[in-house]
Structure 1
C-alpha cells in the first residue's frame, strides 16, 4: 500500500530562527529514518507546499491547494496523510471533509505541539499513528489523528494549545483509540455527500461572540458593511440577550436583508435549540439557522463551502441542515430553523 503525505507547514517541521519558530526542518529525511526497518519503509512519498505556512495564516485558498494536491495524487496512492499546523487544523479538516466526500480514499490529518527536533516531541507518535490509521482499511473520508485518538474530520475542535491530547470531538465518540490492539468505533452514518464541488475561495463570513452587556449599536457597527453570512456564537442552547434594546430587531433585519445568521453555542459541548428558551425565540422566528451540534470550525467551513457552491437564500438554509460529511447529528423532529 502506497501512502502520499502532504506537508503544508506547522510546528511539526519548524526550527528555531531569530524571529521564532518557522518551517525549515528536513522532514523527508526525518520520516525516512523514522520508518526505516518498519513495514512502511519505502511505501511513502511526500510533497510539500512551495510556501510552507504557519497554520494561523491558512485561508480557504490553502484548503483549495490541499484538495488539488490530493486529487493530483489520487491514482498513485492508496492512502493520504496531511501534515498541518494545529492552530487551524480543525477548520481545514472540516473543509476537506465537505470537499472530498467523493474522493473514495482515506485522508488523515495530523500535526504536533512540539517540533520534531525537540526531545519529547509528539511528532513521531502522531505521524506514525496517522499513517497506521490511513492504511488500516477502516477509515472512510477525512479524519484527524492526534494524541493517540482518531477523530472524525468534521467533528474536531482544538481544546488545548499545549496538551498532547490537544483535539477532541465533543459531540461524537472517537473513531479509534490507540492500544494493543486499537479500539475502533463505527463511524456515524447518514451523510449525503456533495457531488463535484466547486473549489474553495475566500468568502466574507463574520464570526461574532455575544457577551453580557453587548449593545445593538456595537453589533450594528460590526455588521456594516454587511457580510455574506454570520456565525453568531450565542449562550447555552442558542440564547441571546433578548431584553437588550434593539438587539433582536437588528438581527431580524439582518436576516431579512438576505444575510444568513447561523447561531452556534459558546459551549464546547452543546446542542443549539432555537426557541427552546424565550431568549432564543425571536431569533428562531426571524429565520436564523441553528447550528445543532456542529463545532464552530465545521459551521464556519460549511458556510464557506456552500457559498463557494453559489448557494444563497432558502437553498443555503436547506443545505445547512443537511448532513453533508458527518458534521451534524440530524434530528427530523428538530429542524435547524423554525
Structure 2
C-alpha cells in the first residue's frame, strides 16, 4: 500500500534558530518514514520553499489538489501550519467531495523533538489515514475532527481546534480555485457605509459576518451598499459572528433588510467554509 505525504510547512517541521523557529527540510518526512508500518510505502511531495501557513492561499490549495489527483487512490497526509488550517480544511473538504479520497491534515503547536504535541499528532494522523472511508479530517490533540468546519479556538493550547457541524457537502461547480477577489468582512457598531462600499467595490464577492442569528444595523446607507453589490452580480454570503448556532433568517426584524438586499444565508457555515463556498460555486 502506498501513502502520499504533502508537506507544506508549519511549526511541526521547524527547529529553533537564531531569530526564532525556522523550517528544516527533511524533518517531517523522516519522522513519518520512521513510523510507517512495513507494508506502507511513502511518496512525498514537499513544498519548496516550505510555507508558514499565513502564506497559504488558493494557488497552494490547487497545488495540493494537483498532487492528490496525480497519485490516484493513495490515502494522503497533509502537514500544515495551524494558523490557516481551517481554511485549507474547508478548501480540500469541498473540492474533494465525491472523489472517494481520504485526506488527513496534521500540524502541531510545538515542533518535532521539542517535547510537545507533534509526535502524538503524527501518530494519530497515520492511524487515521489508513482507516477505510473518504473525507478530509484533522488529526490533532488526540481527536480526529471533520475538516469541513474547523475553527482554531485557541492560539496557544495544544487542544486548539474545534469542528462545527456543517450541512452535507455538495459537488462543487469547480474543483480548482480561480482568481476571484474574495474576502471575509465583519459588521461592527458604527461601521461607515462608505467603508463597506469601498471594500465591496474591490471584490467579486464576500462573506459578511453579521450579528447573532442574523441581524444588522438599521442603516439605509449600509444596506444600500449591500444591495448595490448584489445588483452588480457580487455574491454576499452571511454567517454569524457567534462561533456556534448559525443564522435563522426571520427570527428578528433587524435582519430583514439583509435578506431583502439579496444577501445569502450561510446558515451554520464557518466563515472559512462560506468563503470556500463562494470560491467553488
Fold-level match, TM-score > 0.5? yes
Cα 1:40/1:280, change in 2 over 3 Å: farther
* C-alpha displacement of 1:284: 0.9
Cα 1:194/1:264, change in 2 over 3 Å: closer
Cα 1:249/1:275, change in 2 over 3 Å: farther
Equivalent in 124, 130, 138 of residue 144 of structure 1: 138
Equivalent in 288, 305, 309 of residue 263 of structure 2: 288
Any conservation in 2 of the 1:207–1:232 contact (CA below 8 Å)?
yes
- Which position in structure 2 is the counterpart of 1:3? 3
Q: Give the aligned CA root-mean-square deviation in angstroms.
A: 2.0
* C-alpha displacement of 1:251: 1.5
5+ residue gaps, structure 2, are: none
Q: Spell out structure 1 runs of 4+ moving beyond 6 A.
A: none
| Map 1:117-266 → 2, pairs under 5 A | 117-119=113-115, 121-137=116-132, 139-171=133-165, 190-194=168-172, 197-225=174-202, 227-242=203-218, 244-266=219-241
- Which position in structure 1 is the counterpart of 2:18? 18
* C-alpha displacement of 1:222: 2.3
2:64 maps to 1:66: yes
Aligned residue pair count: 280
Any conservation in 2 of the 1:10–1:53 contact (CA below 8 Å)?
yes
Cα distance in 2 for residues equivalent to 1:159 and 1:46: 30
Any conservation in 2 of the 1:32–1:41 contact (CA below 8 Å)?
no
The structure whose residues are more often strand, as a share, is 2
5+ residue gaps, structure 1, are: 173-187, 307-338
Cα distance in 1 for residues equivalent to 2:83 and 2:146: 17
Any conservation in 2 of the 1:22–1:54 contact (CA below 8 Å)?
no
Cα distance in 2 for residues equivalent to 1:300 and 1:237: 19
Any conservation in 2 of the 1:102–1:194 contact (CA below 8 Å)?
no
